[in-house]
Amino acid sequence: MLDGAPRRRIAHLDMDAFYASVELTKYPQLRGQPVVIGGRRDAVPRQDADGTWHYMRLRDYVGRGVITTATYEARALGARSALGIMKAAQTAPDAILLPVDFESYRRYSRLFKAAVANIAPAIEDRGIDEIYIDLSAHEDSSDVLGRRIKAAVRNATGLSCSIAIAPNKLLAKIGSDLDKPDGLTLLSMADVPTRIWPLAVSKINGIGPKATTRLGTLGIQTIGELAEAAPEVLQREFGLGYARWLIDAAHGRDERAIDTDPETKSVSRETTFERDLHPQGDRAELSAIFDTLCQQVAGDLARKGLIGRTIGIKLRFDDFRTVTRDHSLELPTADPVLIRRAAIQCLRRIDLDRRLRLLGVRVANLQSGADRPPIAQAALPF
DNA sequence: TCTGGGGTCCTAGGACCC
DNA sequence: TCTGGGGTCCTAGGACCC
C-alpha cells in the first residue's frame, strides 16, 4: 500500500449518567431532581394507596455503600461516583437515593449496543455503558455518522449519549468527555495541541490517581506539559515502557485495534459485609458467605460455558489491607465443590488475625468448557 | 460512619527446565 | 564444582477502569 496504512476513524460512545438515566425512565416524575444510585438493595421506592411515592433520602441512609452514579443535578451538590453515601449526605441530604438495578441496566445496554450495531457492527464492548466503534470502513462523514448513531441510540432507549470520533481510541475516549451530556465531538491529530494539551493528565485513560500525583511532583499537570517533558526525566521516574507510553499518549498517538471479541480472563464474586466479621466469632456467617460465593462463581462459569484451573480468594481486613492467595489445579473445573475445596486451601495460608470486611472468590486460567477432554480420558494414568 | 463489585494488565521473584 | 542464560509457569500485589 503506497499510501501507508489507511486512516482510521474510531468512535467512543459513552452513555450519559447511564444508571441514573435508566432509573429516570422508571421514575419519570424525578426528572430534574438530584438523584443518586447506589447503596444496599433495600431503598426501593414505595407507592401509597393514594398514589403518592415515597423515596429514601441520602440523610435517611445508614451503613456501608457508595454512590454508583448520580444525576447531573446531584453532581452539582457534590454527589460523585465512588463517594460513600453517608459522606455524600453531608452536602446533599435531600437528594433521592435509589438502589442499583443491574437487570434493567443490562437490558438497556443490550438495546443501545444493538442499535449501534445496526449502523456500525465493528464494536468493542467496554462495559455496560460504553463502546468503541471502528468507522474506518464507512463512507459517510463523521458528522453524519455520529448524528445517525446518536439518533439510533435515542430511538432504541430514549437515552442520550456522548460520542467522539477521532483517529484512535485514546483521542476518542478523551473526546467523548469534552461535550457531555449529549455531545458529538470530532477530533483530528491537528486538534491535539489546542484541544488536548490544556487538559489535566488524568484525562488520559490509564493515568490514574497514583501516576497523576507522581507527575505532579515533576511539575507536570497538563497533557501539554507531559508532551514537553524531558524523556529522561519520565524514564527515571516511571521506567522505559511506561515513559514511552506517556509520551505517545501526550501526543495523541495510539495504534490499538478495536477488539470485537475479547476472551474472558477471569470470573469472580466478592462481597463487602454490612459489618466487619470476626474470623472465629462470626465463623458460621463467614462460612455461609464463602459457600455462596463459590456457588455463584461456579454458576457464572457454567452460564458462560467456561472452566478454569486457577482458584483464588481475596480478603480485605478491617484496616483495608487486602490479601490474595491462589492455587492452580491439575485440571480446569466449574464444579462448586472443587472450587470451594481449593479456595479453602488458599484460606488456610492466610493469618486471620483481624476482623474481615470483604471476601471474594475468583477463577482464572479459563478455557471453554467444551474444550475439556472427557473426565474418563483425562483421568487415565498414562 | 470513609473507601462497591467486576474486571484487565503489569511487575517481580522463585521454581523448574533446557 | 561453578557459572551461564533463556523461557515458562506460578503466585502476590498493585494500578487502573467502568
Helix (H, G, I), strand (E, B) or coil at A26: helix
Cis link prior to A198 (omega < 30° from 0)?
no
Q: Of A23, A73, A124, A130, which is the active-site residue?
A: A130
Nucleotides in chain C near protein beta carbons (<7 Å): 9-18
Q: Is the CB of A325 under 7 A from strand C?
A: yes
What are the pLDDT digits (tens) for A120-153? 999 999 999 999 999 999 999 999 999 999 999 9
Q: How much is the average pLDDT of A212-227?
A: 97
Residue A225 has, within 13 A of its CA and on its CB side, a CA count of 15
Using alpha carbons only, how large is chain A's radius of gyration in Å? 24
CA angle A248, A254, A259 (to 5 degrees): 150
Helix (H, G, I), strand (E, B) or coil at A36: strand
A130 CA – C18 C1', rounded, Å: 8
A130 is catalytic: yes
Tell me the C-alpha distance between A250 and A262, whole Å: 27
Determine contact, residues A284/A325, Cβ cutoff 8 Å: no
Q: Beta A184-186 vs A306-317: how paired, if at all?
A: unpaired
pLDDT at A378 over 60: no
Tell me the C-alpha distance between A102 and A218, whole Å: 42
A264 CA – B16 C1', rounded, Å: 29
Q: How much is the average pLDDT of A344-355?
A: 95
Taking the C1' atom of B6, which residue's CA lies nearest? A268
Tell me the C-alpha distance between A374 and A354, whole Å: 43
In sequence order, the 6+-apart residues with CB closer than 8 A to the CB of A190 are none
Tell me the C-alpha distance between A247 and A253, whole Å: 9
pLDDT at A157 over 60: yes
What are the pLDDT digits (tens) for A40-64? 888 899 999 999 999 999 999 998 8
Q: Is the CB of A128 under 7 A from strand C?
A: yes
Cell numbers standing for residue A88: 455524600
CA angle A349, A375, A266 (to 5 degrees): 45
pTM of the predicted structure, to 2 decimals: 0.93
Nearest nt to the A15 alpha carbon by C1': C18
